[in-house]
Amino acid sequence: MPGGDDPIGDLVALLSRLPGIGERTATRLAHHVLASDPDYARALGSSLGSIHERVVRCATCANFCAGPRCAICRDERRDGKLLCVVARVPDLTAIEKSGSFRGRYHVLHGLLAPLDGVGPEQLPLDALVARVRESEIREVVVATPLSVEGEATALYLAQVLRANDVRVSRIASGIPHGGELEYADQVTVGRAFEGRREL
Amino acid sequence: MPGGDDPIGDLVALLSRLPGIGERTATRLAHHVLASDPDYARALGSSLGSIHERVVRCATCANFCAGPRCAICRDERRDGKLLCVVARVPDLTAIEKSGSFRGRYHVLHGLLAPLDGVGPEQLPLDALVARVRESEIREVVVATPLSVEGEATALYLAQVLRANDVRVSRIASGIPHGGELEYADQVTVGRAFEGRREL
């Protein structure tokens, strides 16, 4: 609110709306910015204020990008027969960092959540089904989170995609790398047994 | 950097320069802003980008304010005989919240730090001495931090101010409210004994 009577208070109120930032941290951040180079404050403000205008969704996979199509969709070396469905862009980034997938992606930007009023119509599932139908995709790996909503979305996707002569798979659930069985929850231990593989 | 090829990466880099915000948290914040209302991003960006222009230092005490003089300096009910010297505006805010001081303030926006090249010339000490000389101030309470630099600054202030027929005092150092002697450091315990008062 430029021109307000309490510019620091206004900034603290806006910063406090960020996740994990309480009033105390917001106050510390505001005073840090005030004590820093004004050019830094302007660069950060401009970057934040224009981020929605500068970031668009890839026309093919809905990944965030600066142009009409993202770098992964433009990359001819990616395997066009493999498609990975994720809920959010940070999940895609985590998969890319792991180097364990060389196909392409489809970002839902959400999960089915009937209790919050998010049904199949609210997610871009038609675009996903059309993409699977019109392309050479042979396997869809559903990498939605292992939460209730992520699992429900995975089951729903399996139903709507199976009719299209495509294999639908789900990422494994089990004990994380380096994890102790002693500290794992019961559901995770159960899944680790269900998903056991021959050695 | 508007127009850049990696707007999210640019924003993450700028956010990572804030204190206590690593790359992971910066990435989470950037994606949170992208998932929120664009109006919020614009309001936050505009508030941050213009904070240096909208916040000025009070002409009398150097407190942050939107006008030429801060609300505390304008408040006629404050005791003009008492002046409290603080290093930073958040310290002033903490004192105001405690309700334990009803005089006026002087903000140094720094502390003496010879090793970092901050000598008496780099701090607005002339303005402080002139203010004490020209006003009805009878006591200057030095509320700089109880750190090495805060103590050095307090001793220096006592020297330069004492010539002006004014009492110079220092806030007490000791065990914090609710604190256990067992967990206090030796210097704090020593100060608590030095500063003991009759009951």
| ipTM at complex level | 0.80
Residue A103 lies in a domain: yes
What is d(CA B103, CA B58) in angstroms, rounded to the nearest whole number?
16
Are A113 and A83 in the same domain? yes
Residue B3 has pLDDT above 60, yes or no: no
Residue A132 lies in a domain: yes
Residue A33 sits in which domain range?
7-54
Question: Which residue in the set B20, B49, B89 is minimally distant from A45, CB to CB?
Answer: B49
| Cα B192 from chain centre | 24
Tell whether B169 is within 8 A of chain A (Cβ). no
Question: Which residue in the set A6, A41, A66 is minimally distant from B48, CB to CB?
Answer: A41
Region label for A25, one of left (φ > 0), alpha (ψ between -120 and 50) or beta (otherwise): alpha
Residue B41 has pLDDT above 70, yes or no: yes
Q: Tell me if A48 and B52 make a contact (CB, 8 A cut-off).
A: no
What is d(CA B162, CA B166) in angstroms, rounded to the nearest whole number?
6
Exposure pattern of B112-132 as b/e (b: 16+ CB <10 Å)? Answer: beeeeeeeeeebbbeebeebb
Question: Residue type for A148, please?
Answer: V
What's residue A39's pLDDT? 97
Residue A166 lies in a domain: yes
What is d(CA A68, CA A74) in angstroms, rounded to the nearest whole number?
10
Residue B197 lies in a domain: no
Are A86 and A134 in the same domain? yes
CB pairs under 8 A between A and B: 146
Bridge partner list, A56: A65
Are A28 and A102 in the same domain? no
What's residue B92's pLDDT? 94
SS3 B104: strand
Residue A2 lies in a domain: no
Are B163 and B85 in the same domain? yes
Residue B59: both structure tokens together: 């002409």
Residue B64 has pLDDT above 80, yes or no: yes
Are A161 and A109 in the same domain? yes
Ranges A116-130, A136-150, A185-199, B12-26: which has the least confidence? A185-199
B74-78, B163-167, B169-173 — most confident range: B74-78
Are A21 and A89 in the same domain? no
SS3 A179: coil
Q: Which of residues 69-108 of A touch B (CB under 8 A)?
A: 88-90, 93
Tell whether B122 is within 8 A of chain A (Cβ). no
Are B46 and B98 in the same domain? no
Residue B177 lies in a domain: no
pLDDT (tens digit per residue) in A58-99: 999 999 999 899 999 999 999 999 999 999 999 999 999 999
Residue B181 lies in a domain: no
What is d(CA A86, CA A89) in angstroms, rounded to the nearest whole number?
7
In B109-184, which residue ranges form alpha helices assigned H by DSSP? Answer: 125-134, 148-162
Residue A164 has pLDDT above 50, yes or no: yes
What's residue B137's pLDDT? 94
Are A128 and A81 in the same domain? yes
Considering its fold, how many domains does chain B have in total? 2
Q: Tell me if B7 and A66 make a contact (CB, 8 A cut-off).
A: yes
From chain B, pick out residues whose CB is under 8 angstroms from the CB of A34.
Answer: 51-52, 55, 64
Percent of all residues in chain B with a pLDDT value above 90, rounded to a whole number:
70
Residue B182 lies in a domain: no
3-state secondary structure A52-85: HHHCEECCCCCCEECCCCCHHHHCCCCCCCEEEE
Are B114 and B162 in the same domain? yes
> What is the mean predicted confidence (pLDDT) over B52-70?
93
Residue A1 has pLDDT above 90, yes or no: no
Residue A29: both structure tokens together: 């951040």
What's the mean per-residue pLDDT of chain A?
A: 91
Residue B2 has pLDDT above 50, yes or no: no
Smallest CA–CA separation between A169 and chain B, in Å?
Answer: 27
Residue A39: give its domain's CATH number. 1.10.8.420
Residue B139: give its domain's CATH number. 3.40.1360.10
What's residue A109's pLDDT? 94
